[in-house]
Amino acid sequence: MALRYLSQRLAQQIDEELMSQNGAFSIDQLMELAGLSVSCAIAKVYPVRSYPRVMVCCGPGNNGGDGLVAARHLFHFGYSPSIFYPKRGGKELYQRLVTQCDNLKIPSITDLKQQLKQTDLIVDAIFGFSFSGKVRTPFDDVIQAFEETTIPIASVDIPSSWNVETGPEPNSFVPSLLISLTAPKLGMKDFKGTHYLGGRFIPPALAEKFNLNLPPYPGTEQVVDITGIPVLTEERL
């Protein structure tokens, strides 16, 4: 058993195939299932009784959207989430996801440092597999806070600021939980923390086409623990 870790290009291609007319998924569907799987992984690793106060930090793209969905499900699971969403994405979907959280009275945070004093767990939903280049304001301050805090961090798909293919820089923060979506990305291959996989919606034909070698999910779970499962090396592809 070994898992294929995806290049940025391949991750984008799989995403496009899922949402093309042939794959037929809407972004609403995929984001709902992705965000749900994030919240399920968090509930397994950071139980609500010990980590009730979860600050979900959202970026302007789809990774942030996954975070908004996760915040909503975490609320229904009994957590007290808050949302830090300093640069809101323009898509109508994101606005609706915010409204759904507003309807649950999930607080929107403006002062990150103040909120860190009353947070048991941080969800990093800033950047996903499309990220490249340098972290720009206002997210540079957020990443710096992640580097300085001792609060555990759960990263969605990739730890924000890490290169999707080459991984962390020397001073990058390291999350204690990583929830890869669909399949892990190449830059995660030396990650040693707790690692879950979510996104239980890949058709077997698509998984075969790209040699994803996905692990079986248990029962009706939306996530599977892939901590310690080796990386499929390129020679074996």
Q: Which parts of this chain interact with a copy of itself (CB under 8 A)?
A: 21-26, 28-29, 32-33, 36, 39-40, 43, 72-73, 76-77, 93, 95-97, 99-100, 103-105, 200-201, 203-206, 217, 219-220
Q: How far is the CB of 204 from a copy of itself (least distance, A)?
A: 7
Q: Tell whether the torsion through CA atoms of 175, 233, 217 and 21 is positive or negative.
A: positive
Of 18 and 145, the one with the shorter C-beta distance to a copy of itself is 18
Q: How far is the CB of 155 from a copy of itself (least distance, A)?
A: 19
Of 55 and 224, the one with the shorter C-beta distance to a copy of itself is 224
Q: How far is the CB of 111 from a copy of itself (least distance, A)?
A: 26
Q: Measure CA of the first residue to CA of the last residue in the chain; give whole Å.
A: 13
Of 97 and 125, the one with the shorter C-beta distance to a copy of itself is 97
Is 128 labelled a binding residue? yes
Of 83 and 188, the one with the shorter C-beta distance to a copy of itself is 83
Of 29 and 233, the one with the shorter C-beta distance to a copy of itself is 29
Is 25 labelled a binding residue? no
Q: How far is the CB of 94 from a copy of itself (least distance, A)?
A: 11
Is 211 labelled a binding residue? no
Is 157 labelled a binding residue? yes
b/e sequence 63-102, b meaning 16+ C-beta within 10 Å: bbbbbbbbbbbbbeeebbbbbbbbeebeeebbeebbeebe
Q: How far is the CB of 200 from a copy of itself (least distance, A)?
A: 5
Is 134 labelled a binding residue? yes
Q: How far is the CB of 98 from a copy of itself (least distance, A)?
A: 8
Of 93 and 151, the one with the shorter C-beta distance to a copy of itself is 93
Q: What is the three-state SS of the chain?
A: CCECCECHHHHHHHHHHHHCCCCCCCHHHHHHHHHHHHHHHHHHHCCCCCCCEEEEEECCCHHHHHHHHHHHHHHHCCCEEEEECCCCCCCHHHHHHHHHHHHCCCCEECCHHHHHCCCCEEEEECCCCCCCCCCCCCHHHHHHHHHHCCCCEEEECCCCCCECCCECCCCCCCCCEEEEECCCEHHHCCCCCEEEEECCCCCHHHHHHCCCCCCCCCCCCCEEECCCCCECCHHHC
Is 20 labelled a binding residue? no
Is 80 labelled a binding residue? no
Residues annotated in a binding site for (6S)-NADPHX? 62-66, 128-134, 157
Residues annotated in a binding site? 62-66, 124, 128-134, 157, 160
